[in-house]
Amino acid sequence: MVQTVLTVEKNEKIAKDVFRMTLSGDASAITAPGQFVNLKIDGFFLRRPISVCDRTDGVITLVYKTVGDGTRALAALAPGAEIDTLCGLGNGYRLDRSGDAPLLIGGGVGTPPLFWLCRELIGEGKTPTVALGFNSADEVILEDDFRALGARTLVSTVDGSRGVKGFVTDAVAGVVCSYFYACGPLPMLKAVYGAVEADGEFSFEERMGCGFGACMGCSVMTRSGPVRICREGPVLRKADLIW
Ligand SMILES: Cc1cc2nc3c(=O)[nH]c(=O)nc-3n(C[C@H](O)[C@H](O)[C@H](O)COP(=O)(O)OP(=O)(O)OC[C@H]3O[C@@H](n4cnc5c(N)ncnc54)[C@H](O)[C@@H]3O)c2cc1C
Ligand code: FES
């Protein structure tokens, strides 16, 4: 983990209540898709954890939803603003387990960390299928970005206003995969656990205190004992979960 100051390059609305922020600076401590950063927002004691959506030379991309005062303050930041950032937190996804035809399943703002993962998998010559689930068409994010990468991209909405009507598990019914990666709200993750037979891993967005392993506030019980989502996670393997 490295504490650094990053500069806002862009901060734009991309869907209902969802923003894409690009930050420049030394983010070299971020080494794997699935890792997250912890942002110090002026006026708030606790940092706000946000997954890394993408990382290219000198620039990281975050996609976040405004759900409370902290993320609303984040959305108000203009280009040039500086953010005290803890970089390189968490374990990240295991690309070596993907097999040739991995399935990436995202729900709502659980989809951003899958983007960099998808780009890396395609770079390794894999053919990922991406399934993105939302409540309605006005919440759909990153669909065009995943398509532009060349991934087979499926979209579902609960109200049927875009793609398959229903949950993301309806969109992946019948999809055969070598391994899966899932990120989204807990009910979605539990549905994926029951619906997808293949081995895989889940990325959790648990409420956090310190974000770097000191307070135990994010601990969950696994088959190998208690783990801290911020330190041993946020990515946990299917076989380790007690569900
Ligand atoms: C590892 C990780 C990765 C995340 N990645 C993303 C992402 O890529 N995009 C995105 O939109 N959101 C992401 N979240 C959720 C995001 O951290 C919260 O939505 C955000 O902290 C809410 O802050 P707030 O002040 O607006 O809300 P408030 O509800 O006012 O926050 C109060 C406190 O609760 C915490 N909190 C509230 N909701 C959550 C939540 N769902 N998960 C964790 N902590 C929460 C806040 O950090 C803060 O400490 C991630 C969470 C974690 C743990
Ligand atoms: S948030 Fe403090 S140990 Fe994980």
- pLDDT tens figures, 40-82: 999 999 999 999 999 998 899 999 999 999 999 999 999 999 9
Tell the burial category of 171 from Cβ atoms under 10 Å away from its Cβ (0-12, 13-18, 19+).
buried
Nearest to 133 by CA among 100, 97, 160, 115: 160
Cα(196) to ligand 1 centroid in Å equals 27
Smallest-distance ligand from the CA of 212: 2
**Nearest-angstrom CA–CA distance, 77 and 21:** 9
Averaged pLDDT, 20-37 = 97
Of all protein residues, the one whose alpha carbon is nearest to atom 53 of ligand 1 is 205
**Nearest-angstrom CA–CA distance, 229 and 89:** 10
Tell me, using a 6 A CB cutoff, whether residue 47 lines ligand 2.
Answer: no
The helix, strand and coil proportions of the chain, stated in percent and rounded to the nearest 5, come to: 20, 35, 45
Bridge-based pairing state of the strands 180-183 and 103-107: parallel
Cα(169) to ligand 2 centroid in Å equals 30
pLDDT band at 14 (very low <50, low <70, confident <90, very high): very high
Averaged pLDDT, 3-22 = 97
Question: pTM surpassing 0.75?
Answer: yes
Of 148-157, 161-170, 215-224, the poorest mean pLDDT is in: 215-224
Cα(227) to ligand 2 centroid in Å equals 10
Token pair recorded at residue 99: 């097999």
